[in-house]
Structure 1
Amino acid sequence: MGAIVGKAFLVCLLVFTGAATQAESLYREDAYRPLTADNKAFRVGDTVTVQVLENSSASTNADTTTRRKNGISADVSLTRNPSIAAGVNVAGDFDGGGRTQRASRLLAQLSVVVTEILPNGDMKLAGEQILYVNEEQQKVNLQGRVRPQDISEGNVVLSTRLADARITYVGEGDLSERQRRSWWRNIMDWLGF
């Protein structure tokens, strides 16, 4: 009889504790991907490969020419003294010109992470890649926003398809340091020499 009461107590205990626990589904809507779906990024934390193909060029020319010529002359003649003559001529010429030309090209490929899904479905991306070439550190930072339809089936997007893109490419090391102007040259330029 005691064994039957013990088993009944154990069954009641399991029924009451089982009712207190909640069952969770193995299906998670935010992580669901059909078996036939491609491997494109679609949620925060997914990676996307960005091919950076940026070309830019600018050219500006300016020519300025100014000429000025002024003249004043006077002639005074008195009967007792010799004639007195005076004259002032002022002339000035200025020719100026300038030209600036700049061209840049950046080719890189880096993987970035989806940091946010916007209400309209666009994804914010951010990432950084650091390379060391001949003891020089080369750093590429990328931030931007992409539409899901701009990402290819191979999970790749071109940098030209990013909205609000911020791409920085910075080199640090001896070579980069030698390309910077010296402090005394900046002071001389500021003083106008």
Structure 2
Amino acid sequence: MTARPALRIAARLSLAAALAASLAACNAATRLSEVGSGPQLSQIKDPYTQPGYQPVSLPMPTPMPAERNPNSLWRSGSKAFFKDQRAKQVGDILTVLITINDQAQMANETKKSRDNSENMGLPSLLGLESQFKNALPSAVDPSKLIDASSKSSNDGKGNITRKEQIELKVAALVTQTLPNGNLVIQGRQEVRVNYELRDLNITGVIRPEDITAQNTISYEKIAEARIAYGGRGQLSDVQQPRYGQQIFDIISPF
């Protein structure tokens, strides 16, 4: 092996190693920093300052003028005589009730079969069929010049069985008030048990009218709801394939 091909192979190996190292650098550094102490809890931060935070923009109806009753002791829409305890402005807190008990089962079976056959010949072509023997073997019959056939079949079966059951409660913070009065909420909860960290995130848009007198709201009344429940730690890392296997599964065409 000459020096130039050897340098090319070494460069390719170095590039592959650098790519694998860059993919795992962030997570590996975090895991190394948590050796012996377990995963660290995230600090409480202002949602507006987070890199991925984006204000919600939705189609809004025309604002209606508010009707004022200066001589009335009762406020319209209030469930408490003296004060409404429900969340209504940025910074208020309410409790989100998450109760998911879904089951889904689906089975599909598809079969397809096709058999084609085509024959074509030129027994008579203005007398030119007699000249075919000059260009083609003498055994060729002009009436059977082309004979093609094809056959295909496909048999597919699929079966999906899914069962999910989640029952959680999480406090969420009102982060934005939309022009029509709807509220944007965001909640996050982290619980660490030994070396495993459980993380719950929920965001969405709610109507103030759907908030109960106990200052709670059910998850099915949250529009554009995004609920994420997972974890990270030693047990979660063991359940994941190693970095090399993940990279190979991504780049392998077979």
TM-score normalised by L of structure 1? 0.61
Change (3 A) 1:122 1:141: same
For each residue in 1:117-150, what CA deviation from the matched residue of structure 2 results, as whole angstroms up to 9, or x when unmatched?
1121111111210011342111111111111111
Q: How does 1:170-181 map to 2 (within 5 A)?
A: 170-181=230-241
Q: Give me the whole-angstrom Cα distance separating, in 2, the residues matched to 1:158 and 1:113.
A: 15
SS at structure 2 position matched to 1:37: coil
Q: Give me the whole-angstrom Cα distance separating, in 2, the residues matched to 1:163 and 1:115.
A: 15
Q: 1:62 aligns with which of 108, 129, 147?
A: 108
Q: Give me the whole-angstrom Cα distance separating, in 2, the residues matched to 1:123 and 1:185.
A: 40
Q: How does 1:18-29 map to 2 (within 5 A)?
A: none
Q: Tell me the residue number matched to 2:209.
A: 149
Question: Is 1:123 matched up with 2:183?
Answer: yes
Question: Is 1:111 matched up with 2:197?
Answer: no
**Shift in Å at residue 186 of structure 1?**
7.2
**Shift in Å at residue 154 of structure 1?**
1.2
Question: Is 1:38 matched up with 2:38?
Answer: no
Identity of aligned residues (%): 31
**Shift in Å at residue 176 of structure 1?**
1.8
**Shift in Å at residue 108 of structure 1?**
1.3
Q: What CA RMSD, in Å, does the superposition of the two structures yield over aligned residues? A: 3.2
SS at structure 1 position matched to 2:161: strand
Change (3 A) 1:187 1:96: farther
TM-score normalised by L of structure 2? 0.48
**Shift in Å at residue 56 of structure 1?**
3.6
For each residue in 1:87-111, what CA deviation from the matched residue of structure 2 results, as whole angstroms up to 9, or x when unmatched?
xx98765433122232322221111
For each residue in 1:147-172, what CA deviation from the matched residue of structure 2 results, as whole angstroms up to 9, or x when unmatched?
11111111111111111111111211
Q: Give me the whole-angstrom Cα distance separating, in 2, the residues matched to 1:59 and 1:51.
A: 26
Q: Give me the whole-angstrom Cα distance separating, in 2, the residues matched to 1:152 and 1:36.
A: 17
Change (3 A) 1:69 1:139: same
For each residue in 1:24-66, what CA deviation from the matched residue of structure 2 results, as whole angstroms up to 9, or x when unmatched?
xxxxxxxxxx872231112111111111122344433222334
SS at structure 1 position matched to 2:86: coil
SS at structure 2 position matched to 1:119: coil
Which has the greater radius of gyration?
1
Question: Is 1:47 matched up with 2:93?
Answer: yes
Q: What is the letter of the counterpart of residue 92 of structure 2?
A: D
Which consecutive unaligned segments of at least 5 residues does structure 2 have?
1-79, 119-148
Q: What is the letter of the counterpart of residue 110 of structure 1?
A: V
Q: 2:224 aligns with which of 164, 176, 189?
A: 164
**Structure (1 or 2) with the greater strand fraction:** 1
Change (3 A) 1:42 1:67: closer
Is the CA contact 1:142–1:168 (under 8 Å) kept in the aligned structure 2?
yes
Q: Give me the whole-angstrom Cα distance separating, in 2, the residues matched to 1:36 and 1:117.
A: 23
Q: Tell me the residue number matched to 2:245.
A: 184
Which consecutive unaligned segments of at least 5 residues does structure 1 have?
1-33, 73-88
